[in-house]
Amino acid sequence: MPTEGNAVVTWFGEHFAELHPLLQRLHREGGELIGEVELRYGQGLAGLLGRRLAARLGLPTGCRRCEMRVEIRHSESCLLWSRRFAGGQRMDSTFVPHGHFPAGHWLESTGKLSLELGVQIIDGGWYWQQRRMRFLGIPLPAWLQPRSEAYKCIEAGQYRFSVTFTLAGQGLLFGYSGHLRPREA
């Protein structure tokens, strides 16, 4: 049975059991994952904007593959992710739950940017559904918002992560994906 006092377990409620057992464990206990990810950047203006945004978030822009580490922690009130690409600067995100699954959402804050994200569970995986985006707390109009597609699932016993940002009319800004494994103690 899920532990009490954990924002993720509480937000999902009885639906927590629909997540793959490895995702359940990660979100009961927290942990650190490590592995190689592929970095992708768009072409033209989208690529230029994507590289600038990615650099501000701590992603390397001069390579196509790099090591990624992500530490996942929980509290009663939020989910905390700390990502590090190629040993560079940390990119911290705080996810605050609102309501409960399936109608509720999470508010992810990373620096000056915040995303309102719903969740779908598909084949035991956790798929984020972007609803709104804010910059400095100001809602961005839909036509100006980069769109994110992100998920985590289990493939061949490893954690598969994928995050992609696109801009309407421009295409891919940037994305990263790969298979991560728990860091050995």
CB 19 within 8 A of CB 121: yes
| Check whether domain 7-182 has CATH 1.10.10.10, yes or no | no
The domain spans of the chain are: 7-182
| Structure-token pair, residue 145 | 């918002």
Categorize the per-residue pLDDT at 1 as very low, low, confident or very high, splitting at 50, 70 and 90. very low
- Kindly compute the dihedral angle of the four CA atoms of residues 65, 123, 13, 31, in this order, to the nearest 10 degrees: -30
Q: Which residue has the higher pLDDT, 3 or 19?
A: 19
Between the alpha carbon of residue 124 and those of residues 24, 49, 58, 67, 137, the distances in Å are 10, 34, 29, 26, 33
Residue 157 has pLDDT above 60, yes or no: yes
On whether the pTM is more than 0.75, the answer is: yes
Cα 152 from Cα 132, distance rounded (Å): 20
The helix (H) or strand (E) run that includes residue 95 is strand 90-98
Residue 2 has pLDDT above 80, yes or no: no
Tens-place pLDDT, residues 69-121: 999 999 999 999 999 999 999 999 999 999 999 999 999 999 888 999 999 99
Residue 4: per-residue pLDDT: 59
Residue 185 has pLDDT above 60, yes or no: no
